[in-house]
Chains A and B, each alone.
Chain A
Amino acid sequence: MKSSHDRRIDEARWLRGAETWYRVLVGFAFPANFRQSHAADAVLAFRDLARQVLRQRGRAALLRLCALSAARVLAQGVAERWDGGAGATGTSGAVARPRLRSATVIRTDLLHALRALRASPHFTLAVVLTFAVGVGVNTSVFSFVRGILLRPLPMADADRIVLVGQRDPTLPTGVTSPRALQAVAGQVSALERVAAFAWAGGILTGDGEPVRVTGAQVGPGYFTTLGQPPVLGREFTEDESGRRAAAVVIISHRLWRDRFGGAPDVIGRTLDLDGQRREIIGVLASGLISPHDFAFGDPGDVFVPMTWNAGEHHLGIRVLRGVARLAPGATLERANVELAAFSEALTANNPGYGQQDIGAVTLREYYVEGSRDTLLLLQGAVFLVLVIGAVNVMNLTIARGIERRHGLAVRAALGAGRSALLRTVVLEVLLAGALGGALGVFLAVGLVPFLLGLMPGNLPQLAWVRVDALTAVGGAAATLLVALLAGLVPAVRLLDAGQIADLTRSGFRSTSAVGHRRLQQALATAQVGLAVTLLVGAALLIRSFTSLMKVDLGYDPAGVRVLQIDLPAERYATAGARLRFLSAVGERLAARSEVAAVSFGSTAPQHGLNNFSSSVGIVGWEERNRSGNPWGYVRAVSPHYLSTLGLALSEGRAFEPADYVEADSPAELHMRAAIVNAEFAQRFLSGAALGRTLVLWGDSMEIVGVAEPMRYAFPGADPEPEVYVPFDGRLTSALLVVRGRPGDVQLPAVIRDVVRALDASVPLQRIPTLDELIAHTVAVPRLLMVLMGGMAAVALGIAALGIYGVLAFLVARRRSEIGIRMALGAGAAQVSGMLLREGARLVISGVALGLALAWAAGRLLGALLYGVTPRDPVVFAAVAGVLGLVGLLASWLPALRASRVDPLQALRDG
């Protein structure tokens, strides 16, 4: 009983809302004579319609109706005005003499507004610029939000495509073992068509210079699972995969176009990859969306069959990620519940291979997870800038309105109604705002490519970031809305019913000024408050970035360059051959005067190559159940690797030549010594690592040293356990790490010469410095810091203008009062003190408001900060200080002007 009563009340509330909405629309859109005769009936009829829609189709339908009505009513209103508004006045059958045609009214209004804008170019320029900047940055950031966060992936059923991997730490984006992935395919019923992928690459030889290409090795059905099967040819089959994978290859659209001229008969032709001739069996679509792109930072050109065979490797070998589709009817939640149970069972049944924690995430979430906070923060910040600008426009409009009171009064006296005056004021802001908004959209067209250039580009969605029709329409809509508001608020305030009377009576020298002043002060306070919020955000990001840059990386990046060397398989077939070549490069480089130190390894800081982890056995391990089974990032290094990077050992010794084995057959390969980092020693061995025996990949090795942890990847990330082993040439790719002498610019050329002199067939790549690699790693936080800083600066400028505007206007308005005070003996200091106090009041209340807002919003920023809390007292205090200073400056000029008022002159003018 009660619930039906509640429902009725609820319905009544919704209907009242809809009715009010419609009344406002009709009131706004239609000319007065229509409103008088028919608006009430139309509103009644709309309420009846709304009731029916609400009862039969629910609230969503009602909201849709209301939204649609807006467009229809506005269109009808415009049509009515163009028709000239000729018509009945509402008395039965009577025919009214049409009044002044509304079309003429619109034209007159427009002309008035244009003339007024031309007459005050400063005001016009301020409004246009405000909107150009505000809309420009909002449209730009929105094109990123739309392209990256809102736009669905282009594949059919894209939201059912998931990435499957080890949680790392919460998102399942880490690598897992081939064996575990195969078990997932067989046992997790919520997933189907599981296909694995891993990094792959090689050297493409044939005509011209050898080219290094990258791509992936992918399991059967990988591209079909992604909803993007090859456009030419076919995918790999089960038979083509495995240890003795077939010599076939699928190529990217890019490679097909550039190397094969887009030949339609490319299927069946061959290419030479790492000296192996492979038959091309497929060509992929252009603009392929796939997780390997995101995982490896390159869309890839060559795709080869999966060589990791689940049957041959234990669960500790974690090298693959998987893609899959949710089974029909299954949800992501169910898949993750099943995967959790599966992982638990797998871990329990296979002790000694580490914790299995496999999960699934939609491909889309995988892509956007890292950028969501950043983008939303930016969108919020640019929106604040627009709001601050709009508030400024409101303040300017009020000031202007008061200044032209005579003109308005004359029009009012000549019979212009309240609505006509209102329209004039609103139209002015609307026109100038629209012009600014249009400029803003153009600005965005230029700004977006610029911003794209600053982004480190491994997000595939960046390709969709552009100012298109929809973002432009969004920008235009935002402009109109904000401009309407920015015009309407002051216009309504200026033309309050009582004040129209004032206007006509006295050309107003009236008391209403007090009300305006309060509104102006409130607006200036709001501006300062919003600017403070932005400033706090920017200052936090700056502090976060500086502390990120101050992190002890564990190594010394100065002067170190890194070259990736990929050895062609046909010439360097054995581990021994590879080791000998790299050692020769090292020896020759060490002999050069430009080189301070040289070494090589499977990995290097800030470089993605071979950066994998593995579970590790420890003989006689008793620290069980403390922090999970031992694991670590495995780094195979040459003897002087750690010292080249400037890393001292905290215990034990470095690798010696005796630790290295030069082997030409896999059977002879084994490792004897290992160095672990302090993190590994602490986490798994309570710090007592020296002399213990590790088991890794079947080899037993003694821990001979303990190294300090290095920040291999993001400087802000926590240190991870690491295991260094002697580089024995098992891997075909290695990184040459060379420290040059200070100020030597010849180093890249020297390195190239040495490598080329030894073997010209080894492809050479760019040789970046470690500092460049670090800059790339921290590009996003830096970009965020720069953008937020820029916007905070703009906001600060506008807020300062706002304070200045209010006070300057106050001085102008109160010139005669000031004159009287001075005539009665007030000194210049007292007068300027009065103004400064006024300014201080604005600043203090604004800062208080802003700090409160920033305090409340702190949580939003938390995830993006490093080494500083979102409510950092230093930042809050500094921002308050800066604002105080700027506020003082902004108050200074008007105060100075006030103190120079000539009492006689002021009284005479007054």
Chain B
Amino acid sequence: MSTRRSADPTQFLPLKARDYEILFVLAREELHGYGLMKEIDARTDGLLKLEPASLYRRLRKLMTEGLVEEAGERPAPEADDERRRYYRITRLGRAVLSAEAARMRSLVREAETERLLPLPAKAEP
């Protein structure tokens, strides 16, 4: 029976791509499920499509881990003004997100050192 992990953000790394996207989008604004789907779809140019059921599975897992929490219900103006449940990122979630971003930055650095990527200075005209 697993219990809550301690609050060390690095324990959650590496994040799955879709978890990262959910956290990233929520870090900018509170959103309801469909808003999240649309936002992620747009951000990734359709590369990452979340099916409602799978989105809510991820959300549930992120909530269990304490990275996301509910932000109450309120009408969604861009849909039909029906009440939606909104979600927001927790402090731990934010910490995990930046830890993951830092991890990815180090990955990018490594790739640059190994000449797998052009260095940013050279890439800019």
B76-103 vs A: 1/0 string, CB under 8 Å?
Answer: 0001001011000010000000000000
Neighbour of B59 across the interface among A38, A73, A77, A79, CB < 8 A: A38
Which residues from chain B contact A45 at a C-beta distance below 8 Å? 32-34, 37, 52, 55-56
How distant is the Cα of A215 from the Cα of B90 in the complex, in angstroms? 80
Q: In the assembled complex, how far is the CB of residue B115 from the closest CB belonging to chain A, in whole angstroms?
A: 39
Which residues from chain A contact B66 at a C-beta distance below 8 Å? 93, 95
Does A861 make an interface contact (CB < 8 A)? no
Q: In the assembled complex, how far is the CB of residue B81 from the closest CB belonging to chain A, in whole angstroms?
A: 12
* Interchain CB contact under 8 A, A48 and B64: no
A53-91 vs B: 1/0 string, CB under 8 Å?
Answer: 000000000000000010011001101100000111001
- Interface positions, chain B 12-47, Cβ under 8 Å from A, are 32-34, 37-38
* Interchain CB contact under 8 A, B52 and A87: no
Neighbour of B57 across the interface among A22, A80, A92, A98, CB < 8 A: A80
Does B60 make an interface contact (CB < 8 A)? yes
* Interchain CB contact under 8 A, A42 and B1: no
* Interchain CB contact under 8 A, B70 and A76: no
Q: In the assembled complex, how far is the CB of residue B47 from the closest CB belonging to chain A, in whole angstroms?
A: 17
Which residue on A lies nearest to B62, using beta carbons? Answer: A88
Which residue on A lies nearest to B58, using beta carbons? Answer: A76
Which residues from chain A contact B84 at a C-beta distance below 8 Å? 41, 44
How distant is the Cα of A73 from the Cα of B50 in the complex, in angstroms? 11
How distant is the Cα of A62 from the Cα of B81 in the complex, in angstroms? 23
* Interchain CB contact under 8 A, B57 and A79: yes
How distant is the Cα of A98 from the Cα of B2 in the complex, in angstroms? 8
Which residues from chain B contact A95 at a C-beta distance below 8 Å? 3-4, 64, 66
Which residues from chain A contact B6 at a C-beta distance below 8 Å? none
Does B116 make an interface contact (CB < 8 A)? no
Does A694 make an interface contact (CB < 8 A)? no
* Interchain CB contact under 8 A, B56 and A38: yes
Which residues from chain A contact B51 at a C-beta distance below 8 Å? 69, 72-73, 76
* Interchain CB contact under 8 A, A87 and B34: no
Does A189 make an interface contact (CB < 8 A)? no
Which residue on B lies nearest to A29, using beta carbons? Answer: B53
Which residue on A lies nearest to B63, using beta carbons? Answer: A88
Which residues from chain B contact A77 at a C-beta distance below 8 Å? 53
* Interchain CB contact under 8 A, A88 and B55: no
How distant is the Cα of A49 from the Cα of B56 in the complex, in angstroms? 14
Which residues from chain A contact B79 at a C-beta distance below 8 Å? 48
Q: In the assembled complex, how far is the CB of residue A568 from the closest CB belonging to chain B, in whole angstroms?
A: 72
Does A256 make an interface contact (CB < 8 A)? no
How distant is the Cα of A80 from the Cα of B53 in the complex, in angstroms? 10
Range, interface on chain B? 20 to 34
How distant is the Cα of A98 from the Cα of B61 in the complex, in angstroms? 12
Which residues from chain B contact A308 at a C-beta distance below 8 Å? none
Interface of A is mostly: helix
* Interchain CB contact under 8 A, B52 and A42: yes
Which residue on B lies nearest to A48, using beta carbons? Answer: B34
Does A46 make an interface contact (CB < 8 A)? yes
Does A30 make an interface contact (CB < 8 A)? yes
Which residues from chain B contact A26 at a C-beta distance below 8 Å? 53
Does A43 make an interface contact (CB < 8 A)? yes
* Interchain CB contact under 8 A, B57 and A76: yes
Which residue on B lies nearest to A34, using beta carbons? Answer: B60
Does A97 make an interface contact (CB < 8 A)? yes
Neighbour of A87 across the interface among B38, B54, B63, CB < 8 A: B63
Q: In the assembled complex, how far is the CB of residue B29 from the closest CB belonging to chain A, in whole angstroms?
A: 17
Which residue on A lies nearest to B71, using beta carbons? Answer: A92
* Interchain CB contact under 8 A, B53 and A88: no
A790-813 vs B: 1/0 string, CB under 8 Å?
Answer: 000000000000000000000000
Which of A52, A69, A87, A98 lies at the interface centre, i.e. has the most chain B CB atoms within 10 A of its CB?
A: A87
* Interchain CB contact under 8 A, A49 and B60: no
Which residues from chain B contact A80 at a C-beta distance below 8 Å? 57
Known A87-B61, A95-B4, A95-B66: A41·B53 in contact at CB below 8 Å: no
Which residue on A lies nearest to B69, using beta carbons? Answer: A93
How distant is the Cα of A48 from the Cα of B3 in the complex, in angstroms? 35
Which residues from chain A contact B70 at a C-beta distance below 8 Å? 91-93
* Interchain CB contact under 8 A, B64 and A88: yes
How distant is the Cα of A38 from the Cα of B55 in the complex, in angstroms? 10
Which residues from chain A contact B3 at a C-beta distance below 8 Å? 95
How distant is the Cα of A37 from the Cα of B53 in the complex, in angstroms? 12
Which residues from chain A contact B37 at a C-beta distance below 8 Å? 45, 49
Q: In the assembled complex, how far is the CB of residue A89 from the closest CB belonging to chain B, in whole angstroms?
A: 10
* Interchain CB contact under 8 A, A42 and B53: yes
Which residues from chain A contact B34 at a C-beta distance below 8 Å? 44-45, 48-49
Which residues from chain B contact A37 at a C-beta distance below 8 Å? 60
How distant is the Cα of A22 from the Cα of B32 in the complex, in angstroms? 18
Which residues from chain A contact B61 at a C-beta distance below 8 Å? 87
Which residues from chain A contact B1 at a C-beta distance below 8 Å? 97-98
Which residues from chain A contact B63 at a C-beta distance below 8 Å? 87-88, 93
Q: In the assembled complex, how far is the CB of residue B71 from the closest CB belonging to chain A, in whole angstroms?
A: 8
How distant is the Cα of A93 from the Cα of B23 in the complex, in angstroms? 15
Which residues from chain A contact B85 at a C-beta distance below 8 Å? 41
How distant is the Cα of A38 from the Cα of B56 in the complex, in angstroms? 7
* Interchain CB contact under 8 A, B64 and A41: no
Which residue on B lies nearest to A22, using beta carbons? Answer: B52
Which residue on A lies nearest to B85, using beta carbons? Answer: A41
How distant is the Cα of A547 from the Cα of B64 in the complex, in angstroms? 76
Which residues from chain B contact A86 at a C-beta distance below 8 Å? 2, 64
Which residue on B lies nearest to A43, using beta carbons? Answer: B52
Which residues from chain B contact A76 at a C-beta distance below 8 Å? 51, 53-54, 57
Which residues from chain A contact B4 at a C-beta distance below 8 Å? 95
How distant is the Cα of A79 from the Cα of B4 in the complex, in angstroms? 21
Which residues from chain B contact A72 at a C-beta distance below 8 Å? 51, 53-54
* Interchain CB contact under 8 A, A87 and B60: yes
How distant is the Cα of A637 from the Cα of B26 in the complex, in angstroms? 94
How distant is the Cα of A42 from the Cα of B70 in the complex, in angstroms? 15
How distant is the Cα of A395 from the Cα of B56 in the complex, in angstroms? 40
Please, could you name 25 A-B residue pairs with CB atoms under 8 Å apart, sorted by A? A26-B53, A34-B56, A38-B59, A41-B32, A42-B52, A42-B53, A42-B55, A42-B56, A44-B34, A45-B32, A45-B37, A45-B52, A48-B79, A49-B34, A52-B38, A72-B53, A76-B51, A76-B57, A77-B53, A86-B2, A87-B63, A87-B64, A88-B63, A88-B64, A93-B69
Q: A34-B56, A86-B64, A95-B4 are in contact. List 8 more A-B contacts (CB 8 A).
A: A38-B60, A72-B53, A76-B53, A88-B60, A88-B64, A92-B70, A93-B63, A95-B66
Which 5 pairs show the lowest CB-CB distances between chains A and B? A48-B34, A45-B33, A45-B34, A92-B70, A45-B52
Interface residues of A (CB under 8 A from B): 22, 25-26, 29-30, 34, 37-38, 41-46, 48-49, 52, 69, 72-73, 76-77, 79-80, 86-88, 91-93, 95-98
